[in-house]
Amino acid sequence: MVRKAQGSPAKALTAPAGHGMFEGVRAVFVEGGILGKRIEIWKKRLIGLGGQVLDPGKRIPREATHILAADAERLIKQYGREQVEESPLFLVSFGWLEESLAQGKLLPPNAYRVFSSSRSGSAGRSPARSRSASPDTAQSRGGNLLESPTASAQPPAPKTPATSAQKRLREAHERAEDLAAEVREDNEQSGAVALVGAEDEGGESSERREGEGGQGFGLQGDWRPGGGDKQLEKWGEVRNDVTKEKEAMGIRPLGSTAEAIGREVMRIEPPRGNATEQPTHSGGGSDEDHEILLRAAKRARIEGADSGKPQGGLERALVEVNEEGFLDLRENQTPAGMANPELNRGLLKVLGELKDIYRDAFGDDRRSFSYYKAISVVENLSFKVTSAEQLKGLPSIGRSLLDVVRDILGTGTTPRLLALKNDPMVRALFEFGSVWGIGPVTARKLYDMGYRKLEELEKEPSLTQAQRTGVKFFYDIQQRIPRHEAAEMEALVQRVATELCPGIEVLCGGSYRRGKATCGDMDMVLTHPDGHSHKGLLPKLVARLKEIDFVTEDLLVGPSHSADDSDHGVDTYFGLCKYPGRELRHRIDFKVYPRDQHAFGLLAWTGNDVLNRRLRLIASAQQLHLNDHGMYPAIYREGDSVHNVSRGSESVPCYTERDIFRTLRVKYLEPKERNL
């Protein structure tokens, strides 16, 4: 998994050992924190082994591949917080160089990033692939459990799996759970439950903040709960904050007392009627229409109870819309920009790691999604969590998560995470499963075949071309894109697309459109106002973008629909692209929609996924089927399960996203408000 940063990514995984090992590396050394003499020696060795040393300058040199510094403070001192936070480069500690020299090979930089790694290097940052269920604030990237220097140094694995990975994975999980339970029991018996951390840990803390990933954690992690001295005197204040926060989220304590804050009975406030704010829809979302839909939904629910029709989530969605007025989905968002994920960085980091492991190694999407939603709730808090009780009653935070939070607040981590991270199989599965195109099942197969390391996968013949590309650009793809670069690339695509097709509309959706400071990828959504000029554009656009060396590799090339007239007429392309002047690959998607589907496509491709799911559930409760092509009156055919609903003929016409929200009786959310 040795990636030669930017020099020649094509050789990403085959950097030669020893001689010339730093070929293609263009490093900047930020002085300080370590003897200048040692730095000089390192520079010479780097150059001797094929690397280049660049002048630091005031701005991070564009051609640089690695920025080396003793720690984050020096980095920020040199370049300022903004540059450092937005840099997609490898901002690593000198430990990376030292260890690479020691091992005679170019090590993956991730474990040495000064923006998350603790000095040990075993608590580096997460690859946190930008697969679906992942809150894409830059702050919540989980930690990593691979890329420890030692892991990279292992010899090739023997191909003799004793048991199937499937079984051993289950066992790994059970071990982790058992351990967690044991530790918890011990703590309870010894009364050693630590509920501390009311204050920042000393004066240096704000300077030590990391831009994008949270501190390292774990045994010698940088993050630990602060001292609890002021805990008691702070309590009243914190309690008030918590209560306010919950109220802001639309969660109201019923009959709580100050002492019983941990036992509040919470309920979601009914949405307030604000229909007047919403202009009446011209074509299918009128009050009358809605009444009809609502009545139909109630009927469906009642009938469903008798006939095995949908229950559960659907019913919950129905409760939500079963009030007058428009539903406000911002219930877990702290108003007025008071949310501060930084406050709970350590907590978020651990939860993020668990979320990633459950998804990428275990394929437990449900559990992972639960963590994801809980993370989102914690990110939206405006106070520092000092006691698990503060989270009791918040949406998506249940018993198990409270236990985990208790662990983290006490020790900085949780036994189950430690157990998982120390399990070599889990580490391997997580690594494989983090490759684009490789999911948990394939990861297990590869593991069972005897593979243990990423670079070995290159040769495996059963990999698809896309998976091979995913392996090759494993590290590239995980580097986040600074917002301003995404904006430039959006403009570039707009320019090229307009040359090919005047009048074409090009928007970058996804986390970019939701206003995030960094993006995992680019989601380009296109349409043409005249309703037909978009046809056949995508292949030409991609070809042109390849000509100018912007789009570089394909991952998925959809069949050309819009040329003929068969399907929905939506063209799709997934691939990789390069920010001009740099070799680093980023994920980029293109979706070209006919004008009448564009609002649905844009909504879907702006996300986030939680919003998409919720809107679809809400639509279901109103007997509507929502997808990225349209919104269709649902027709429950006799004897069909809910999953077998056929679409009515015509979509409810929606020209804008507002139309969709209005039809569903959901309060309109600006893109930046869609980070649910």
Partner DNA sequence: GGGCCGTACTG
Partner DNA sequence: CAGTACG
Partner DNA sequence: GCCC
Please select the residue that binds DNA; options are 78, 130, 479, 518, rule is CB under 7 A: 130
The C-alpha atoms of residue 520 and residue 587 are separated, in whole angstroms, by: 8
| Encoded amino acid at 111, one letter | A
* Contact status: 572 vs DNA (CB under 7 A): yes
Nearer to DNA, 24 or 470 (CB): 470
372 binding DNA? (CB under 7 A): no
Mask 188-227, x = binds DNA (CB under 7 A)? ----------------------------------------
Report the nearest approach of DNA to the CB of residue 432 (Å).
9
28 alpha carbon, distance to own chain's centre: 29
The answer to whether residue 642 forms part of the interface with DNA (CB under 7 A) is: yes
Q: Tell me: does residue 472 bind DNA (CB under 7 A).
A: no
Confirm or reject binding of residue 315 to DNA (CB under 7 A).
Answer: yes
**Residue 619 makes contact with DNA by CB under 7 A:** yes
In terms of CB distance, is 84 or 615 closer to DNA? 615
Q: What are phi and psi of 474, to 5 degrees?
A: -50, -55
Contact positions with DNA (CB under 7 A) in 599-618: 604-609, 612-613, 616-617
If the CB atoms of residues 198 and 429 are measured against DNA, the closer one turns out to be: 429
The residues pairing with 519 across neighbouring beta strands, listed in sequence order, are 481
Binder among 87, 396, 562, 623 for DNA (CB under 7 A): 396
Minimum Å gap between C-beta 144 and DNA is: 17
At position 102, the amino acid (one-letter code) is: A
b/e 604-618 (16+ beta carbons within 10 angstroms → b)? bbbbbbbbbebbbbb
**Phi and psi, residue 327, nearest 5°:** -75, 130
Residues in contact with DNA, total (CB under 7 A)? 82
Upper half-sphere CA count for residue 399 (Cβ side, 13 Å)? 0
State the Cα–Cα distance between residues 562 and 532, nearest whole angstrom.
9
Cα separation, 567 vs 607, in Å, equals: 23
Which residue from 577, 581, 519, 515 is spatially nearest to 552, judged by alpha carbons?
A: 577
399 binds DNA (CB under 7 A): yes
Is residue 93 involved in binding DNA (CB under 7 A)? no
Cα–Cα distances in Å, from 104 out to 20, 21, 23, 65, 100?
Answer: 10, 7, 13, 19, 6
Alpha carbons 98 and 118: distance in angstroms, whole number: 15
What string of DSSP letters covers 355-408? HHIIIIIS--HHHHHHHHHHHHHHHT-SS---SGGGGTTSTT--HHHHHHHHHH
Q: Which residue from 95, 608, 163, 665 is spatially nearest to 373, judged by alpha carbons?
A: 608
**Shortest Å distance, C-beta 260 to DNA:** 18
Nearer to DNA, 4 or 168 (CB): 168
Q: In terms of CB distance, is 4 or 674 closer to DNA?
A: 674
Among the listed residues 43, 568, 582, 595, the single contact to DNA using CB under 7 A = 568
* C-alpha span between 348 and 343 (Å, rounded): 9
Across the chain, which distance is largest between two alpha carbons, in Å?
A: 80
Q: Which residue in 102, 302, 441, 548 binds DNA (CB under 7 A)? A: 441
Name which of 383 and 436 has its Cβ closer to DNA. Answer: 436
Q: Pick one of 574, 579, 636, 661: the residue that binds DNA (CB under 7 A).
A: 574
Q: Check: CB of residue 293 under 8 Å from CB of residue 634.
A: no
Task: Identify residues 418-437 at the interface with DNA (CB under 7 A).
Answer: 435-437
* Of the residues 94, 326, 371, 383, which one makes contact with DNA according to CB under 7 A: 371
Q: What is the chain's Cα-based Rg?
A: 26
* Minimum distance from residue 600 beta carbon to DNA (Å): 10
* Minimum distance, C-beta of residue 523 to DNA, in the bound complex (Å): 5
Q: Which of 398, 450, 515, 531 binds DNA (CB under 7 A)?
A: 398
Stretch that binds DNA, among 183-191, 192-200, 368-376, 532-540 (CB under 7 A): 368-376
Among 48, 313, 503, 515, binds DNA (CB under 7 A): 313
Of the residues 147, 245, 628, 657, which one makes contact with DNA according to CB under 7 A: 628
Asked if 82 interacts with DNA (CB under 7 A), we say: no
Nearer to DNA, 187 or 572 (CB): 572
Q: CB under 7 A: which stretch of 105-113, 140-148, 640-648, 652-660 binds DNA? A: 640-648
DSSP 113: B
395 vs 676: CA distance, rounded Å:
12
Q: Provide the minimum distance between the beta carbon of 239 and DNA in the complex, in angstroms, as a whole number.
A: 21
Binding segment for DNA (CB under 7 A), chosen from 116-124, 150-158, 252-260, 310-318, is: 310-318
With H, G, I as helix, E, B as strand and everything else as coil, classify residue 146.
Answer: coil
Rule CB under 7 A: say whether 301 interacts with DNA.
no
CB of 37 to DNA, least distance (A): 46
Lookup: tokens for 115: 């923006």
Stretch that binds DNA, among 131-139, 237-245, 282-290, 536-544 (CB under 7 A): 131-139
Q: Which of 113, 182, 104, 172 is nearest to 144 (CA)?
A: 113
Binding to DNA, residues 319-338 (CB under 7 A): none
Of the candidate spans 150-158, 307-315, 487-495, 545-553, the one that interacts with DNA by CB under 7 A turns out to be: 307-315
Distance (Å) of CA 5 to CA 57, 100, 543 = 20, 14, 26
Site for DNA in 505-564 (CB under 7 A): 509-511, 514, 520-521, 523, 556-559, 561
Q: Does position 464 bind DNA by CB under 7 A?
A: yes
* DSSP assignment of 420-448: HHT-HHHHHHHHHHTSTT--HHHHHHHHH
Contacts (CB under 7 A) with DNA, residues 240-279? 268
